[in-house]
Amino acid sequence: MTAPSTAPVPAPHQGEADEGWVRWPAEFVQRYQDAGYWGDQTLDGLLREWARRFGPATALVSGAERISYAALDEAVDDLSAGLASLGIGPGDHLVVHLPNRAEFVTVLFALMRLGAIGVMALPAHRRVEIEHFARLSGAVGYVVADRHGGFDYRELAREVVDAVPSVRHVLVAGDPGPGSGRGVFTGLAELAAAGRSARLAATSGAAGVGREPGDIALLLISGGTTGKPKLIPRTHRDYAYNARASAQVCGLTADDVYLVALPAAHNFPLACPGILGAFGVGATVVMASASSPDVVFDLIARERVTVTAAVPPLARLWVEAAGWEGPDTTSLRLVQVGGAKLDEGLAQRIPPTLGARVQQVFGMAEGLLNFTRLDDPDEIVFTSQGRPLAEADEIRVLDGSGRPVAPGQVGELWTRGPYTIRGYYRAAEHNTTVFGADGFFRTGDLVRQLPTGHLVVEGRVKDVINRGGENVSAGELEEHLLTHPAIALAAVVGLPDPDVGESVCAAVVPVAGGAVRLKEIKNYLRDRGLARFMLPDRLAVVGEFPYTAVGKIDKRELRRRLEQ
C-alpha cells in the first residue's frame, strides 16, 4: 500500500483559475469510463431517452398535476425555448430556489438543456445565503416560487435584484406579482407558453447546445457547518452514475413510487436515488409540498408510495405521529434515513411503526455515498451508516498526522472516487486545505470501519470539545444521553469558559412529560461507565432545537443561542 499523501495542494491546478473548478485528471477519466461508471450522455439527454422508453408512464405527481415522461420532456423543451428567448444560454448561472413542486424538475432540466447551470438553493435559505450564491456564481437569474410556507419569495427576489447587479431575471413559479411590471419578473408558465409557440413556429427544434457529459450539470450547496456554504460542481456523468447506482442499491423499478419529502434541491432526495434515480427506471416521483406527518401520510396512502428519504429528526416525527394516527403505510417498503447520525433506538422503531425496511445513508453533497444494503443483517442496518456505493470509491481513515489508523479505530475519513468532486467551485484557496495533492477529499467526518467494510460515523472532527486539554467527543456523549428514558433529543456543544477554555454543555429536549436534571444525568452517565471527564458541565433543557435548511440539528445556531 502506498503511503497516503495528505499534503496540501501547493497551488491551484492549471485551468482552475479559468474554469473555476477542478476536473478529474485524464488518467481517472479514462479509468472511470473504461470501468463503465461514466457514460456519454448529459442528464437532459437522458431525460429524452427516458421519455422514449417510458413515454406514457407517470413521471411526476405534484398537487393535482400528473405528468407523463413524454409530457415532461416536452415541458422541458418549452421552458428551455422560453429561457433562451430571454437570452439565457450556455454557461449562465441561475439560483434555483423552489419548493417541492413540478417546476423544480422542469427548471432543472430546462437549464441543462440550454447548457445553463442551476445553483440548488434550499427553500429555507434567506437573503444572506441567496446573495452569497448569486455573487459567487455570477448568477444572471433567480428562480423562485410566488409564496410557499407563508413566505413571499418575490419580496426576497426584489432585495436580491437590488443587491446583486448580475441578476437580471426573476422567474416565478406561480403568480409573478406586481413586480412583473418592472420587467425583470417573469412567470414560468408564460415563459413556457411563449417557448412553445416559438418552437412550433421554428422549422427545427431547439436542440441542446452541446454541453459535454464531463461538464457541470448543476451546483449543489455544501452541508458544511463551518464558514459560508460552498458550491459543489456535479458533472452530468458523475451525477448520472450517482443516481443510477443508488437506484440499483435500493432495488428501484418502474413499479416504485418515490416520495420527495425532503427539499428536492438537496442531494439526498435529488439523486440518492431520489428524483433522478427514480426517473432512470421509469418509476413515479411524488412531490410533497411539506414534510409534516399529515401531508406525508396522506400522500403515501393516496399514491401508494413505496420509497422515501428522511433526515433523523423527520423520521422521528413520522414514527411518533404514526403511533397516534395509525396511517395507511402498507405500500411503503423502504425508508432511507441519512444526513445525520440515526440513533439505534429510533432505527429499530421504524420498521414496526412505518411498516418498511430502514436503510441508512451516509452521504455528502461532495460525492461519496454509503448505504446499508437491502440484504444486510438487521444488526448492521441498525448500527452502521452503510458501506460505499462504488467499487471504485477509495476510502482512507487517517489520524491527525495523516497516517492510517489501525483497522477498526476511529479516524478522519478521506475519499476519492468516480462521483466525488476534486474541488469546490471558485474556492481555490479553501480547496488547498480540504483536498490532498492526490485528489482525496477530506470529509471532516470521524468514522471507524467494520470488517464488513461498513462505516460507523463517530462525529465530526470539529465537533470535539477541548475542555482544558481533554477531548470530549460530542457525538459519543450524545449517544449515551439518548439512551436516557426522559431524553428525546440531545446535542452536545462546547461553550467558552474562562477557566478550561471550553465547557461541555448538553442541550436536551425531554420526552413529553419527562424531567431531567444535571445531577441525575451525571449519575446516570457515570453508572453507564463514562469517565468523569466525559460528563457534561451544564445541562440546557430546551423545548425545540434549531434546524438547518434540510432539517438537521443546527449546532452552530444552538451554540449561538446558548452563549447568549
Nearer to ligand OOB by C-beta: 296 or 553? 553
**Minimum Å distance from CB 270 to ligand OOB?**
9
Nearer to ligand OOB by C-beta: 191 or 421? 421
**Which ranges constitute the DSSP H helices of 102-235?**
102-114, 127-137, 153-163, 188-201
Nearer to ligand OOB by C-beta: 106 or 385? 385
Helices (H) and strands (E) in the chain, counts: 19, 27
Q: Does 414 bind ligand OOB (CB under 6 A)?
A: no
Q: Does 454 bind ligand OOB (CB under 6 A)?
A: no
Q: Does 365 bind ligand OOB (CB under 6 A)?
A: yes
- Residue 275 to residue 294: CA distance in whole angstroms: 22
Q: Which stretch binds ligand OOB (CB under 6 A): 184-192, 338-346, 513-521, 530-538?
A: 338-346
Residue with cell 417557448: 195
**Minimum Å distance from CB 113 to ligand OOB?**
25
Q: Is 152 exposed, middle or buried (0-12, 13-18, 19+ CB in 10 A)?
A: middle
The interface with ligand OOB within residues 160-219 (CB under 6 A) comprises: none
The single residue among 281, 364, 493, 525 that binds ligand OOB, judged by CB under 6 A, is 364
Nearer to ligand OOB by C-beta: 20 or 339? 339
Asked if residue 554 lies in contact with residue 545, where contact means CB atoms within 8 angstroms, the answer is: yes
Which residues on neighbouring strands pair with residue 141, listed in sequence order? 94, 169
The single residue among 62, 360, 415, 420 that binds ligand OOB, judged by CB under 6 A, is 360
Measured at the CA of 469, the angle between CA 463 and CA 528, to 5 degrees, comes to 65
**Minimum Å distance from CB 336 to ligand OOB?**
8
Nearer to ligand OOB by C-beta: 79 or 218? 218
The single residue among 240, 457, 490, 491 that binds ligand OOB, judged by CB under 6 A, is 457
Among 189, 221, 185, smallest CA distance to 101 is for 189
- Residue 364 to residue 340: CA distance in whole angstroms: 10
Sign of CA dihedral 289, 292, 294, 296: positive
Asked if residue 289 lies in contact with residue 264, where contact means CB atoms within 8 angstroms, the answer is: no
Asked if residue 315 lies in contact with residue 291, where contact means CB atoms within 8 angstroms, the answer is: no
| 384-403 footprint of ligand OOB as x/- string (CB under 6 A) | -x------------------
Q: Is 532 exposed, middle or buried (0-12, 13-18, 19+ CB in 10 A)?
A: exposed
Nearer to ligand OOB by C-beta: 353 or 443? 443
The single residue among 123, 141, 177, 363 that binds ligand OOB, judged by CB under 6 A, is 363
Q: Does 241 bind ligand OOB (CB under 6 A)?
A: no
- Residue 249 to residue 374: CA distance in whole angstroms: 8
Q: Which stretch binds ligand OOB (CB under 6 A): 10-18, 249-257, 265-273, 520-528?
A: 265-273
Nearer to ligand OOB by C-beta: 106 or 443? 443
Nearer to ligand OOB by C-beta: 107 or 232? 232
Q: Does 223 bind ligand OOB (CB under 6 A)?
A: yes
Upstream peptide bond of 273 is cis (omega within 30 degrees of 0): yes
**Minimum Å distance from CB 149 to ligand OOB?**
20
Among 99, 557, 542, 517, smallest CA distance to 289 is for 99
- Residue 544 to residue 110: CA distance in whole angstroms: 40
Q: Does 250 bind ligand OOB (CB under 6 A)?
A: no
Q: Which stretch binds ligand OOB (CB under 6 A): 105-113, 168-176, 300-308, 339-347?
A: 339-347
**Minimum Å distance from CB 412 to ligand OOB?**
11
Q: Which stretch binds ligand OOB (CB under 6 A): 84-92, 133-141, 264-272, 393-401?
A: 264-272
- Residue 70 to residue 193: CA distance in whole angstroms: 17
**Which residues contact ligand OOB by CB under 6 A?**
222-223, 267-268, 272, 338-341, 360-365, 369, 385, 443, 445, 457, 460, 550
